[in-house]
Structure 1
Amino acid sequence: MHMEIDGRAVSDDSLSAPAFLNYGHYTAMQVDDRRVRGLVLHLARLDSATRELFGTGLDAGHVRRLILHALDGAGVRDASTRVYVHWPDGNEAPTVTVTVGPPAEPSGEPRSLMSVPYQRPVPHIKHLGSFAQIHYSRAAVRAGFDDALLTGPGGVVTEGASSNIGFWDGTSLVWPDSPALAGTTMALLEPGLPSVRRRVTLDGLGAYRSAFVTNARGIAPVCRIDTTEFTVDEELTRRVSEVYASAPAEEIQEGLPRPLTAGARPC
């Protein structure tokens, strides 16, 4: 793992805020030959969340430059990369941390999910409050599942612990119409497939033939949620995967970054 904060190698002092301040947000992406599918969506997510949490924008050119600098520092062109945003007290602008690790290869193996009664707070932001997600994911693995499926009152399906979930009803890909993070992979799939938003509940899962989870690593079919089994349709999986693969990968170019300036913090 290679890590830089605002383009500089980490130190004990610079790590103090990320280590102890659990208020911020991030995005996770797969870099392939210094290109990223949905890069513009990742950058928009970072800017939007920074505005909502800290009251100022985050320049896309600056973020691109920091990602490139971290890739150069690690000496790689392919990587699993994360960009974290904090605003420690006393700083004049948000602090941007970039981590670079080995690229993740999705297994494509069917996933089994255990439903749990939990909804993420402020779900439209990819924030750092992930204790419950990790807790329920570990509980699901101990119970013999691959991961957890988050649900609300009345068994309303929202999202996976670290993914979006979509259901195939025979004609359309159905995304749960409930508060959840709009993932980049999900956003890339929606325009290329017949897609609808609909309320999905645990007691109504039998109406769907197949299901998929999507995140920055890609797409994987779902074979079971609790005791409800789904068909792993190889042709459908191929079709969904091809739509995702057809999304253009954007080169991470520096552009013309503007210096970050402090905005008015919310009072």
Structure 2
Amino acid sequence: MTSFVVQRNGRAATAEELTPLAFAGYAHFTAMQVRGGRVRGLDLHLDRLRLASMEMFGQALPDDRVRSYLRTALKAGPDDLSLLATVYSPAGEFTAARPDAEPEVLVRTGPAASGPPGPLTLATVEYERVLPAVKHVGEVGKTYFLRQAVGQGFDDVAFVDRRGRLSEGSIWNLAFWDGAAVVWPAAEMLGGTTMGIVRRQLDRLGVPQRVQEVTLADLPALAGAVVMNSWTPGVAVHRIGSVPLPEAPSFLALLHRAYQAEPPTSP
């Protein structure tokens, strides 16, 4: 019988082990969609966990060990599922980490997800995440501003930095289309794994792409916009703030084609 699991370091997590984590917020994670027991961009997920561990804890677990924890969790579940791998230090938070406090891994699986159908409207708010290159937990601002946006009649939120540049969404990367090339916003942000997959596959497909600063004033000159994350390589966006954006079905199809071109691998 298959089931979804919560495991700590490759075995079932106990309530005693989970209790202190429920009251802690110093950790990082990666989220992935598993289809047929395989994952696209596994190397990017492992890179993310390794680099974030070095940044937050000063040490990282070997990739082979992390992969073994992922395999153990996948064996217990269906072929298609969502997986969240969280890395934390047993030293906890609000204290200087002990040099010997090796990071530990919490893996949770759940039903497969594919994201909203769209198109979406995004409110804008000036906000810059702490450690923006790290996918860390305990980010109250993202949920707070998302709920504020929904309360204002939007579907989600896009962040604008102090220089007026669009950076990312609450749980999304942003991507734009100028009619011929994919435009990635230049700002401090989290480099998403799906974003990484799409960028390298667009290169292989010979599709032009560039990184540039994008402000609200730049939007009327663009030909389309999407958000993407581990759920999906693209959900159409038809308004950011008060600025409407045209439908771009060919852009959306291109991003999905690039994502599908990435061969999935088994942990």
TM over 0.5: yes
Residue 240 of structure 1: how far off its partner (Å) = 1.7
- Specify the SS of the correspondent of 1:155: coil
The structure 2 residue matched to 1:83, chosen from 78, 82, 85, is 85
Residue 256 (structure 2) pairs with residue 249 (structure 1): no
Residue 180 of structure 1: how far off its partner (Å) = 0.3
Residue 204 of structure 1: how far off its partner (Å) = 2.0
CA distance in 2, matches of 1:111, 1:2: 32
- Specify the SS of the correspondent of 1:250: coil
- Specify the SS of the correspondent of 1:119: coil
Q: Which residue of 2 aligns with 1:225?
A: 240
Listed as ranges, the gaps of 5+ residues in structure 1 are 253-267
Asked if the contact 2:35/2:80 (under 8 Å) is kept, the reply is yes
Residue 228 (structure 2) pairs with residue 214 (structure 1): yes
Q: Which residue of 1 aligns with 2:95?
A: none
Asked if the contact 1:168/1:174 (under 8 Å) is kept, the reply is yes
| TM-score, normalization by structure 2 | 0.90
The structure 1 residue matched to 2:15, chosen from 9, 12, 20, is 12
Moved more, 10-19 or 210-219: 10-19
Q: Which residue of 2 aligns with 1:55?
A: 58
Q: How does 1:1-267 map to 2 (within 5 A)?
A: 2-73=5-76, 75-89=77-91, 92-191=101-200, 192=202, 193-218=207-232, 219-252=234-267
Residue 26 of structure 1: how far off its partner (Å) = 0.3
Residue 83 of structure 1: how far off its partner (Å) = 0.3
Asked if the contact 2:219/2:245 (under 8 Å) is kept, the reply is no
Higher relative contact order (CA 8 A, sep 6+): 1
Moved more, 7-16 or 212-221: 7-16
Asked if the contact 2:60/2:103 (under 8 Å) is kept, the reply is no
- 1:53-77 Cα distance to aligned partner (Å, 9 max, x none): 111122111111111211223x322
Q: How many residues align?
A: 251
| TM-score, normalization by structure 1 | 0.90
- 1:219-257 Cα distance to aligned partner (Å, 9 max, x none): 1111111111111222221122111111111112xxxxx
Residue 212 of structure 1: how far off its partner (Å) = 0.9
Q: Which residue of 2 aligns with 1:265?
A: none
Asked if the contact 1:27/1:84 (under 8 Å) is kept, the reply is yes
CA distance in 2, matches of 1:24, 1:170: 40
Q: Which residue of 2 aligns with 1:262?
A: none
CA distance in 2, matches of 1:97, 1:251: 19
Asked if the contact 1:149/1:161 (under 8 Å) is kept, the reply is yes
Q: Which residue of 1 aligns with 2:94?
A: none
Q: Kindly report the root-mean-square deviation, in angstroms, between the aligned alpha carbons of the 2 structures.
A: 1.5
CA distance in 2, matches of 1:144, 1:95: 40
Residue 18 of structure 1: how far off its partner (Å) = 2.1
Asked if the contact 2:120/2:236 (under 8 Å) is kept, the reply is yes
Asked if the contact 1:17/1:88 (under 8 Å) is kept, the reply is no
CA distance in 1, matches of 2:122, 2:13: 37
Residue 129 of structure 1: how far off its partner (Å) = 3.0
Asked if the contact 1:155/1:203 (under 8 Å) is kept, the reply is no
CA distance in 1, matches of 2:231, 2:130: 23
CA distance in 2, matches of 1:98, 1:161: 22
Residue 28 of structure 1: how far off its partner (Å) = 0.3
Percent identity at matched positions? 35
